[in-house]
Each structure stands twice: as C-alpha cells, then as structure tokens.
C-alpha cells in the first residue's frame, strides 16, 4: 500500500548477465546482483534526510502552490537554458529564487561546452527547437574544483581530457595574472571568468547555433559568475541588450556551388 504524498520506492528488476552481454538490457542493472564489491553500510541517514526533506517540500511548497504545480505537470515551458557546473553548492533555482519549471538545465564539471558532446548538443537542440527558449545562461562559480584542476593540472584520465577544453581560458588567465601580479585566489577567479567567456565562444561556434543564425530568432546569451561565499551573481556577459539575439558570431562564408554546364 502506498500513502499519498510519500516518496515511492521501486525495486530494480532482476536480470541475467547473458541479456546484458547481448545488449538487450543496460549494463548498470548487472551491477547490484552480480558484482561482489565493497559498499557503504546499508543505513544512510543522508538519504533519510533527503526523503524527509521531500515530505517537507510537499507540505510547505507543493501543496500551498498546487495550482502552479498542476499547470507545470501538464507541460514545461521554460524560457531559459541554464548551463552550469555540477558543484553541489551551485543550485540554479535556489540562487535565482526560481520555481521548478523556470529553467531547462545542463550541468557538468566546470560548465564546459564541448564540440563533440552529444549530450549538450541534444539539450541545445531540444531547448531551441522544441522549447523555444529565449535566453541561455552559462554560469561559472568561485571555489570551483574543476577550475582549480585546470590551473594545477590533473592526471585522472577522463577529468584531464574534459578539462583540456578549458585550456584556452588558462592561457588568458596566465597572461592577466602576470600583468596584474595576482595572487593564486585572485587568479582562480579570473580563470573562472575567462572560462565562462571561452565556453560562450564554444557555444556560439556550435553548428546548431550557427545554423540558427540564418533562421532566427536566436536566444540571448549571458555569462554569469556565482560567488559561493556571498550567494551573489556577477554578470560577466550581459545579453539583455542584444537586440534580436546574441552578439554577432563570425560565421565562415559559404562557398558558392558551381553549376556544371
């Protein structure tokens, strides 16, 4: 029996390794039953706290605003795409005082926009073509572990490869830090800012954005820095005044196709 308003628990269906090997089922289902790996103790007070928090959310937020949540349950209509860092301290809805349904969200380590990332490309396509979002916010934050790793160098395989995409920002920050004689802390803030600007350039260079330039209208593009020590947002790139779309992007001229006679 389930109690109305209680979080629901669903059991993972059992499966066989053979089905997984044949690609019939996602391999993650194999893990709990078949792998003998050490794990944390079964009790988790953190998870209990989260579930208790959900009950509190239903009581203090969801039920008093039932009409709003009923409306967004039928359809989401966010006007903003948020591209931020995965950091646990950076919550886009909380920091902007927004309700669920306000922003379509993509987060990864160091708020990076990569050229060969099918994940972000699909998100952009869905956000622009189907949701018709009007604004894209790329938000970095102070005390970012990813940014510190770009500065110090990191040797773990996947993280190192990923953070290479921010290498251009480090070159710029190195230059600025040398010229201004910045401390390490000051330089990390500059590197975070330069990384936001670099990722915006990456964003503008993606095919989906470049192709939309010809079709329009394009979303306005904004670059923000969230200061985790103060809860404050600094606007680095202000897209609010960009009439009809983001600031111009240099698009390579198309070659004219010769017609054979």
- Cα–Cα distance measured from residue 237 to residue 79, given in angstroms and rounded to the nearest whole number: 18
Min dist. Cβ of residue 196 to Zn ion (A): 11
Catalytic residue among 117, 135, 139, 141: 141
Residue 155: Cβ-neighbour burial (10 angstroms; 0-12, 13-18, 19+): exposed
Question: In the stretch 26-65, what mask flags binding to Zn ion with x, by CB under 5 A?
Answer: ----------------------------------------
Run of H or E residues at 31:
helix 30-34
Active site residue 87: yes
* Residue 83 dihedral angles phi and psi, to the nearest 5°: -120, 105
- Cα–Cα distance measured from residue 112 to residue 139, given in angstroms and rounded to the nearest whole number: 10
What DSSP character marks residue 58? I
Min dist. Cβ of residue 139 to Zn ion (A): 10
Q: Which residue has the tokens 């102070």?
A: 142
What tokens were used for 9? 């628990």
Q: Is 95 in the site for Zn ion (CB under 5 A)?
A: no
Active site residue 152: no
Min dist. Cβ of residue 147 to Zn ion (A): 6
Instruction: Identify which of residues 144 and 173 has a Cβ nearer to Zn ion in the complex.
Output: 144
Choose the stretch contacting Zn ion; rule: CB under 5 A; options: 7-15, 44-52, 85-93, 203-211: 85-93
Catalytic residue among 117, 139, 144, 220: 144
Q: Is 144 in the site for Zn ion (CB under 5 A)?
A: yes
Active site residue 220: no
- Cα–Cα distance measured from residue 196 to residue 222, given in angstroms and rounded to the nearest whole number: 9
Active site residue 130: no
Out of 80, 81, 83, 85, point to the residue binding Zn ion (CB under 5 A).
85
Min dist. Cβ of residue 58 to Zn ion (A): 30
- Cα–Cα distance measured from residue 112 to residue 195, given in angstroms and rounded to the nearest whole number: 8
Min dist. Cβ of residue 190 to Zn ion (A): 15
Choose the stretch contacting Zn ion; rule: CB under 5 A; options: 124-132, 142-150, 184-192, 218-226: 142-150
Instruction: Identify which of residues 143 and 210 has a Cβ nearer to Zn ion in the complex.
Output: 143
Any bridge partners for residue 105, and if so which?
82
Out of 82, 84, 87, 218, point to the residue binding Zn ion (CB under 5 A).
87
* Nearest partner of 116 among 177, 55, 207, 194, judged by Cα: 207
Concatenated DSSP letters of 201-215: HHHHHSHHHHHHHHH
Residues with active-site annotation: 85, 87, 89, 141, 144
Catalog residues that contact Zn ion under the rule CB under 5 A: 85, 87, 144, 146
């Amino acid at each position: 029996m389930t109690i109305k308003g209680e979080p629901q628990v669903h059991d993972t269906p059992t499966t066989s390794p053979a089905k997984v090997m044949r690609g019939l089922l996602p391999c993650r289902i194999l893990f709990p039953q078949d792998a003998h790996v050490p794990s944390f103790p079964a009790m988790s007070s953190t998870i209990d706290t989260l579930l208790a928090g959900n009950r509190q959310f239903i009581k203090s937020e969801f039920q008093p605003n039932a009409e709003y949540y009923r409306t967004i349950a039928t359809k989401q209509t966010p006007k903003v795409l948020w591209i931020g860092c995965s950091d646990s301290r950076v919550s886009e809805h909380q920091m902007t005082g927004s309700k669920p349904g306000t922003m379509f969200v993509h987060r990864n380590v160091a708020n990076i926009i990569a050229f060969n990332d099918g994940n972000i490309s699909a998100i952009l396509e869905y956000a622009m073509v189907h949701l018709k979002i009007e604004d894209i916010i790329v938000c970095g934050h102070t005390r970012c572990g990813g940014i510190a790793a770009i500065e110090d160098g990191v040797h773990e395989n996947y993280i190192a490869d990923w953070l290479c995409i921010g290498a251009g920002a480090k070159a710029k920050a190195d230059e600025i830090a040398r010229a201004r004689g910045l401390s390490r802390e000051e330089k990390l803030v500059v590197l975070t800012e330069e990384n936001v600007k670099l990722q915006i350039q990456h964003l503008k260079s993606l095919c989906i954005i470049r192709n939309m330039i010809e079709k329009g209208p394009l979303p306005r593009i904004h670059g923000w820095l969230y200061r985790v020590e103060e809860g404050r947002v600094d606007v680095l790139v202000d897209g609010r005044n960009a009439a009809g779309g983001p600031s111009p992007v240099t698009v390579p001229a198309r070659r004219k196709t010769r017609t054979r006679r």
